[in-house]
């Protein structure tokens, strides 16, 4: 290059003109056809006889091929790193979810893939992402529980699964955003994708999908081989985990009924006792034996016997709570461990009740209706025993006495038997009370804090027993819950509100809002929404408005099933109150998703407010939290001016309590309405 020309080049060239040599520099250039090339260059100054620099010599070699090779090696090294990372994870990890997350994390971090995710086929046959990694990949979690967001069958994951082959698309912008994952990937700068099928026990189980930020990232044979090897290793781990689970299953579960066996039961019971011990609560254990089971086996055959045991197991599981432990003990025995010593009576009803007992309706076995009975023994922690061994032994001892005395159930502690008998008598009396119309609703006003005016009433059930007089719901509602009578009683309450509204309308031309308490059992029932629609209609016709109070714990138990029900109810104009708020364990994320009108702070906090800083703090934060979720707050059980003042200062919205009005019989409602409107 003559000086004039070289001067126009970049800084390096000027350095050469100043006397420096440049040896072996990699330079980028464009060839005549416009292709990108790389050169290895040497530049030396060119001097005349006097030593003045008049230009430079430049020698370049085209090293484009070599550079590409090198980059490929870098990539291969990265994939190797991923492979060895995942292999060490496989050795370490014994849990599917964890393995998936780790595989995605390693692929994104060490493999420099933009996004890595794993999809599995769920029970309905649709593909769901279960793990993902890579910067910005959280968008997958945001839409992945949206039921409408299905993945395209032309996407890499579903194709890899349905065709059981490696699927490569080297330019995804061409195909466009075929579904939400693809759209997100494009938005995050991904250009190519590979879908690798994953297998468990030789059956297709899912797909690993890797997105790269370059086009044509997956056109190298060697790299592909490594990636396939990687998918193979994850598949191997899946198979291993599945087999391990089967071995565990056989060791800990009864294969006929699917219930935990004695070994696992003992573990779980010990765990239940330990946690009850820490919380200062209890555990009720019932061991029951199917009466004359051998006769079923002998007369109908073993097959029928097995079917009966399975049917009993299913019914027990359906009748207890999900967190209770149910187990098969011996050939014809079962055990139920329920957290909460108070649940002993509930279990007693489950065994003995003629209305809703486990054995009150026949079992259908191979086309025959079999009437079956059982004998049971029960013991309670910590009253009867301090550890699992003794608790089981004492329940078994009680079972043996029950068999000798030929009664359906005995407790280890005789006093509990008296209670169980009383509670069973109560059940029968309550059944009659419902039939004879001995129930009534009383009404307690709720007051707006700002205006002091009435906002509505809460309907509270009373039992007018001809012999004992008025009985409080605290005494009989729990028994109604245990026996299922609450379903009828709850429907009675809904219809009674309509009748009371009609009376008020006729006598005094007033029509209030009435909140009715809903029991967990009602909420779970299939007919719940229909019943509420009917009741709301009937009440509306008399000018009144129906609201509902539902306790916190029920809603949280099964949020996904409850939300659509509540939404329908809310659509009718029915306000939903969360009752006894603060006593359950609500997740805020759920509260925000529910169509709720207000939270009712449990009376225990209102009482505690003036006694402990903690309660005061809880009330305060519940109120501000509710307000931030645009919910109103009702304080329950306000009895003193001091409490009312504190609550006013914390911006509580409504009061309910003896300070403003005790529950009154239906006839007194119009007078209260006149006074407080």
CB 606 to Ca ion: min, Å: 10
Q: Is 579 in the site for Ca ion (CB under 5 A)?
A: yes
Q: How many angstroms separate the CA atoms of 272 and 512, rounded?
A: 47
Helix (H, G, I), strand (E, B) or coil at 93: coil
DSSP string, 104-172: HHHHHHTS--SEEEEEEE-TTS-EEEEEEESTTTTHHHHHHT-TT-PPPTTSHHHHHHHTTS-EEES-H
657 binds, among Ca ion, ligand C2E, none (CB under 5 to 8 A by kind): ligand C2E
Residue whose token pair is 């555990």:
283
Query: What residues are paired with 197 via a beta bridge?
Result: 207
CB 644 to ligand C2E: min, Å: 11
663 binds, among Ca ion, ligand C2E, none (CB under 5 to 8 A by kind): ligand C2E
Q: How many angstroms separate the CA atoms of 616 and 612, rounded?
A: 6
Closer to ligand C2E by Cβ: residue 131 or 461: 461
Peptide bond into 561 cis (omega under 30): no
CB 183 to ligand C2E: min, Å: 48
**In a 10 Å sphere around its CB, with 0-12 CB exposed, 13-18 middle and 19+ buried, how is residue 184 labelled?**
buried
Quick one: three-class SS letters along 424-466? HHHHHHHHHHHHCCCEEEEEEEEEECCCCCEEEEEEEEEEEEC
Q: Is 584 in the site for ligand C2E (CB under 6 A)?
A: no
**Binding-site string for ligand C2E from residue 434 to residue 473, where x marks contact by CB under 6 A and - marks none:** ----------x---------------xx----------xx
Q: Is 654 in the site for Ca ion (CB under 5 A)?
A: no
Q: Which stretch binds Ca ion (CB under 5 A): 91-99, 178-186, 230-238, 629-637?
A: 629-637
Report DSSP state, residue 241. H
> What is the H or E stretch that residue 210 is in?
strand 203-212
CB 89 to Ca ion: min, Å: 50
CB 534 to ligand C2E: min, Å: 17
Q: Is residue 62 left, alpha or beta, with left meaning phi > 0 and alpha meaning psi from -120 to 50?
A: beta
Closer to ligand C2E by Cβ: residue 370 or 607: 607
Closer to Ca ion by Cβ: residue 13 or 636: 636
Q: Is 396 in the site for Ca ion (CB under 5 A)?
A: no
Please pick, from the candidates 580, 586, 626, 666, the single residue that binds Ca ion as defined by CB under 5 A: 580
Q: Which of 376, 102, 396, 48 lies closest to 234 in space, CA to CA?
A: 102
Query: What residues are paired with 465 via a beta bridge?
Result: 469
Q: Is 474 in the site for ligand C2E (CB under 6 A)?
A: yes
Closer to ligand C2E by Cβ: residue 169 or 580: 580
Q: How many C-beta atoms surround the C-beta of residue 551 within 10 A?
A: 21
Closer to ligand C2E by Cβ: residue 554 or 626: 554
Q: Is 539 in the site for ligand C2E (CB under 6 A)?
A: no
Q: How many residues bind Ca ion (CB under 5 A)?
A: 5
Closer to ligand C2E by Cβ: residue 86 or 638: 638
Q: How many angstroms separate the CA atoms of 569 and 548, rounded?
A: 9
Please pick, from the candidates 134, 377, 445, 657, the single residue that binds ligand C2E as defined by CB under 6 A: 657
Q: How many angstroms separate the CA atoms of 119 and 167, rounded?
A: 14
Q: How many angstroms separate the CA atoms of 622 and 582, rounded?
A: 8
228 binds, among Ca ion, ligand C2E, none (CB under 5 to 8 A by kind): none
Closer to Ca ion by Cβ: residue 189 or 473: 473
CB 603 to ligand C2E: min, Å: 6
Q: Is 547 in the site for ligand C2E (CB under 6 A)?
A: no
User: What angle, rounded to 10 degrees, do the helices at 344-352 and 473-483 form?
Assistant: 50
Q: How many residues bind ligand C2E (CB under 6 A)?
A: 24
Please pick, from the candidates 223, 580, 653, 654, the single residue that binds ligand C2E as defined by CB under 6 A: 580
Please pick, from the candidates 155, 195, 282, 490, the single residue that binds ligand C2E as defined by CB under 6 A: 490
Angle at 362 between CA 360 and CA 366, to 5 degrees: 160
CB 479 to Ca ion: min, Å: 18
Please pick, from the candidates 127, 519, 615, 666, the single residue that binds ligand C2E as defined by CB under 6 A: 519
Q: Which of 633, 608, 632, 628 lies closest to 618 in space, CA to CA?
A: 608
Q: How many angstroms separate the CA atoms of 149 and 157, rounded?
A: 14
**Binding-site string for Ca ion from residue 537 to residue 556, where x marks contact by CB under 5 A and - marks none:** ------------x-------
Q: Is 223 in the site for Ca ion (CB under 5 A)?
A: no
Please pick, from the candidates 324, 352, 384, 579, the single residue that binds ligand C2E as defined by CB under 6 A: 579
CB 542 to Ca ion: min, Å: 22
Please pick, from the candidates 493, 497, 601, 622, the single residue that binds ligand C2E as defined by CB under 6 A: 493
Q: Which of 538, 508, 453, 540 lies closest to 668 in space, CA to CA?
A: 508
Q: Is 192 in the site for ligand C2E (CB under 6 A)?
A: no
CB 580 to Ca ion: min, Å: 4
CB 469 to Ca ion: min, Å: 23
Q: Which of 621, 572, 619, 623 lies closest to 598 in space, CA to CA?
A: 623
Q: How many angstroms separate the CA atoms of 670 and 510, rounded?
A: 7
Q: Is 653 in the site for Ca ion (CB under 5 A)?
A: no
Residues that bind Ca ion (CB under 5 A): 517, 549, 579-580, 636
| Residues of this chain that bind ligand C2E (CB under 6 A) | 444, 460-461, 472-474, 477, 486, 490, 493, 517, 519, 549, 579-580, 603, 636-639, 656-658, 663
């Amino acid at each position: 290059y003559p000086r004039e020309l070289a001067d126009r080049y970049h800084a390096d060239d000027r350095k050469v003109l100043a006397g420096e040599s440049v040896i072996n520099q990699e330079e980028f250039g464009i060839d005549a056809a416009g292709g990108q090339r790389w050169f290895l260059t040497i530049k030396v100054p060119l001097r005349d006889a006097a030593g003045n620099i008049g230009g430079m010599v430049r020698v370049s070699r085209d090293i484009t091929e070599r550079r590409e090779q090198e980059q490929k090696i870098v990539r291969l090294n990265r994939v190797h790193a991923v492979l060895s990372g995942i292999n060490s994870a496989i050795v370490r990890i014994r849990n599917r979810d964890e393995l998936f997350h780790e595989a995605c994390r390693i692929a994104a971090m060490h493999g420099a893939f933009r996004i890595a995710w794993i999809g599995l086929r769920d029970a309905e046959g649709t593909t769901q992402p279960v793990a993902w990694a890579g910067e910005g990949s959280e968008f997958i979690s945001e839409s992945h529980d949206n039921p409408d967001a299905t993945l395209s069958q032309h996407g890499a994951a579903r194709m890899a699964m349905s065709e059981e082959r490696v699927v490569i698309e080297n330019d995804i912008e061409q195909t466009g955003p075929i579904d939400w994952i693809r759209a997100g990937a494009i938005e995050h700068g991904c250009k190519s994708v590979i879908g690798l099928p994953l297998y468990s026990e030789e059956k297709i189980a899912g797909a690993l999908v890797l997105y790269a930020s370059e086009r044509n990232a997956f056109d190298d044979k060697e790299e592909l081989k490594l990636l396939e090897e990687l998918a193979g290793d994850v598949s191997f781990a899946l198979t291993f985990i599945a087999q391990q689970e089967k071995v565990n299953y056989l060791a800990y579960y009864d294969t006929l009924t699917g219930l935990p066996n004695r070994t696992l039961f003992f573990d779980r019971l010990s765990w239940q006792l330990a946690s009850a011990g820490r919380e200062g609560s209890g555990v009720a254990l019932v061991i029951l034996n199917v009466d004359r089971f051998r006769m079923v086996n002998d007369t109908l055959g073993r097959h029928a016997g097995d079917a009966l045991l399975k049917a009993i197991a299913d019914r027990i599981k359906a009748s207890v709570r999900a967190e209770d432990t149910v187990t098969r003990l011996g050939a014809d025995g079962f055990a139920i461990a329920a957290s909460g010593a108070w649940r002993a009576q509930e279990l007693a009803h489950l065994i003995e009740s003629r209305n809703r007992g486990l054995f009150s309706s026949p079992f259908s076995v191979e086309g025959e209706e079999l009437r079956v009975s059982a004998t049971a023994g029960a013991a309670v922690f910590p009253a009867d025993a301090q550890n699992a061994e003794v608790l089981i032994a004492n329940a078994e001892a009680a079972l043996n006495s029950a068999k000798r005395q030929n009664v359906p159930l005995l407790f280890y502690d005789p006093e509990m038997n008296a209670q169980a008998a009383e509670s069973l008598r109560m059940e029968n009396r309550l059944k009659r009370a419902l039939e004879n119309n001995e129930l009534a609703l009383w009404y307690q006003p709720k007051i707006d804090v700002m205006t002091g005016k009435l906002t509505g009433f809460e309907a509270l059930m009373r039992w007018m027993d001809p012999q004992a007089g008025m009985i409080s719901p605290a005494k009989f509602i729990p028994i109604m819950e245990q026996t299922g009578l609450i379903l009828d009683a709850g429907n009675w309450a809904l219809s009674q509100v309509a009748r009371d509204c009609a009376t008020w309308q006729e006598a005094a031309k007033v029509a209030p809002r009435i909140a009715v308490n809903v029991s967990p059992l009602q909420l779970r029932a299939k007919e719940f929404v229909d019943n509420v629609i009917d009741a709301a209609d009937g009440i509306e016709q008399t000018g009144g408005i129906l609201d509902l109070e539902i306790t916190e714990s029920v809603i949280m138990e099964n949020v996904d099933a409850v939300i659509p029900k509540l939404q329908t109810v809310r659509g009718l104009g029915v306000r939903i109150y969360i009752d006894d708020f603060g006593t359950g364990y609500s997740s805020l994320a759920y509260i925000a998703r529910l169509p709720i009108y207000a939270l009712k702070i449990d009376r225990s906090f209102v009482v505690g407010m003036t006694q402990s800083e903690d309660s005061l703090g809880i009330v305060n934060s519940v109120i501000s939290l509710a307000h931030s979720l645009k919910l109103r707050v009702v304080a329950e059980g306000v009895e003193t001016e001091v409490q009312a003042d504190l609550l006013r200062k914390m911006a509580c919205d409504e009061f309910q309590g003896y300070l403003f009005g005790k529950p009154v019989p239906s006839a007194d409602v119009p007078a209260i309405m006149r006074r407080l409107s």
